[in-house]
Every structure is written in C-alpha cells, then in structure tokens.
Amino acid sequence: MGGVIPEICVIKLINMNNTNSISGKTVIILGGSAGIGLATAKLAAQEGARVIIASGNQARIDAALQQLPAGSQGYAVDLSKEESIAGFFKTIGAFDHLIYTAGENLSLSPIVEADIEKARSFFNVRYWGAYTAIKYGAPKIKQGGSIVLTSGAAGRRGGASWSAASSICAAMEGLTRSLAIELAPIRVNCIVPGFVKTNLWDYLDSETRETMYANAASALPVKYVAGPEDIALSYIYLLKQPYSTGESLLVDGGHVLI
Ligand SMILES: NC(=O)c1ccc[n+]([C@@H]2O[C@H](COP(=O)([O-])OP(=O)(O)OC[C@H]3O[C@@H](n4cnc5c(N)ncnc54)[C@H](OP(=O)(O)O)[C@@H]3O)[C@@H](O)[C@H]2O)c1
C-alpha cells in the first residue's frame, strides 16, 4: 500500500476532526458556578471551548468567571423558573453543547415522615430545570452538538431515606434515553456521579462531613472520594464521543458495587 491512505481512513480522520474536538465550540453549563459544573467549565475551556455558565447566584457567577479564561460569559438564571430559563435562551445565540449540573441540597427522610410538598419540590431544579432547559435550548444546538445531563448513583443503589433522591436520579436516566431518540441527531447523555466533595454537602457541619467522606473513602474500592475535577473528565468525554447517545455513565468509585 506504500504511503496511500485507504479512503475509509480518510473519512474517519475527517470525522474525528469535525466532531471529536471541543476546541472552538460553545459549551453552556447550567449550574456552572460551583462544584462539578465549574470543574467541567474549566476543563472545557482548557480544551479550547468558549464557555457560558449560568446559575442562580450572581456573586458566585462572578467568582467563577475569575477562574475561567477571558471571553467566558456568565448569566444569572433561576433554573426553577420557566420564564427565567426561556429568557436566558432568548439572549443566547446558537451553541454546540449543553451541560446541566444544577442541583441544590436535599434533606433526606423516611417516606412515612416525608413532607410531600417538599419532596415534590426537590424535582424542581434537578429534573424540571433540565427538562425546561432542553425545551428552550435544544432548538439552538448546532449540527454535531450534544446534551449531557446529571443524575446520581442513588438512582442505581437504593438506601433508607433516599427515596426522593433516588427517584430524581432514575428519572434523569429515563429522560436521557427518550430524548436521545426524540432529539436525534443531537446526542443526549447523562453522568451518574457517586460521592463527590462539593458545596452540596456544606449543609452538614464540618465534622459530620469529614467523617462521612472518611467512611465513604474506606468503603469504596478506589479508596478515596472524588473531587469535582474527576467527574468533569466524564462530561468532556461524552461531549467528544460521537458514538454515544442515550448513555448514562456511572462515575462512582465503585459505590454501587459495595
Ligand atoms: N456532590 C455529590 O456528591 C453528588 C453526587 C451525585 C450527584 N450529584 C449531582 O451533581 C449535580 C451538581 O452538584 P454539585 O455537587 O456540583 O453541587 P454544587 O457544588 O452545590 O453546585 C450546584 C450548582 O447548582 C446551581 N444551582 C442550584 N440551584 C439553582 C437554581 N435554582 N438556579 C440556578 N442554579 C442553581 C448552583 O449555583 P448557585 O448557587 O449560584 O445558584 C451551583 O452552580 C447535582 O445535580 C447533584 O445532585 C452530586
């Protein structure tokens, strides 16, 4: 064959150049002011993407923008409100990828003690926020673009008092599979994190939190609790993986196995 590259390889190389890199692409991260979302925004920017973050708290957005390259943009959007989400997407032009990482602290309780209105409200930001963002955002996604949602290992591994949290996580995985069909060729995937050290656990006092992390670390097969940077790698992977859609990727250090 000498130096001749077979035609099929040439097509593959062109395809990789077009879809595998996020350099120069516009990536929107809803929930990008902190934790997993901010770590993903930083990694996307390092790979040459133009990053737009949105969250509810302007001061946190400003602090996050200080950690992102010049040219990154931030918007205050209340992801529990349809008007706020619709207004944001009206302001934004066409873009390539949408990542949804927004979520707030949940209080866990046994079902017989549940405050039903509160349990319902836990779906607002995590589930309905994502659903609404896709309603208004998907029509603006460019060819070759994708969506990555966020679930949690609680959807795969049940636990006493975790019923509401587990339900939200399982719902996200179902949503991912249906939208992968409905929105095709836009790819729709989901990351399923286990324990991650972020502000999500700040409602615990520091001693309780550190004890929880230490117990989790000693039980997990990987022997440590992830930082948000570990999980960010998986969002970037799914943005770049052109053959994955409808996938919910578990990144839990082995939590569901123990
Ligand atoms: N950390 C874990 O152990 C873990 C495990 C499994 C799954 N997860 C999931 O991963 C996702 C990210 O969590 P994280 O750990 O990165 O938490 P985090 O550090 O607390 O970040 C949550 C993000 O959501 C934003 N947010 C919350 N309410 C909002 C609202 N009403 N409108 C707009 N933005 C809002 C926050 O921004 P503002 O405060 O600026 O509004 C922040 O940017 C969540 O869905 C969580 O359930 C986390």
Confidence at residue 20, expressed as pLDDT on a 0 to 100 scale: 82
Q: How far apart are CA 93 and CA 76, in angstroms?
A: 17
Q: Do the beta carbons of residue 102 and residue 55 sit within 8 Å?
A: yes
**What range does the domain containing 111 cover?**
15-257
What the block records as the tokens of 181 is 């069909």
Residue 26: give its domain's CATH number: 3.40.50.720
DSSP 8-state secondary structure symbol assigned to residue 113: G
Tens of pLDDT, residue by residue over 192-247, are: 999 999 999 999 999 999 999 999 999 999 999 999 999 999 999 999 999 999 99
Neighbours of 105 (CB within 10 A): 11
Among protein residues, the one with the nearest Cα to ligand 1's atom 44 is 103
pLDDT bucket at 137, cuts 50 / 70 / 90: very high
Q: How far apart are CA 254 and CA 48, in angstroms?
A: 31
* CA of 81, closest atom in ligand 1: 31
**Omega prior to 185 cis, within 30 of 0:** yes
* Number of compact structural domains in the chain: 1
10, part of any domain:
no
205, part of any domain:
yes
Name residue 189's beta-bridge partners. Answer: 148
Q: Is the pLDDT of residue 23 over 90?
A: yes
> Residue 246 corresponds to which amino acid?
G
198 close to ligand 1 (CB < 6 Angstrom):
yes
What the block records as the tokens of 88 is 């944001």
Q: How far is the CA of 105 from the centre of ligand 1 (A)?
A: 8
104 close to ligand 1 (CB < 6 Angstrom):
yes
Q: Is the pLDDT of residue 15 over 60?
A: no
Q: How far is the CA of 14 from the centre of ligand 1 (A)?
A: 37
Percent residues over pLDDT 70 in the chain? 93
* CA of 151, closest atom in ligand 1: 7
155 close to ligand 1 (CB < 6 Angstrom):
no
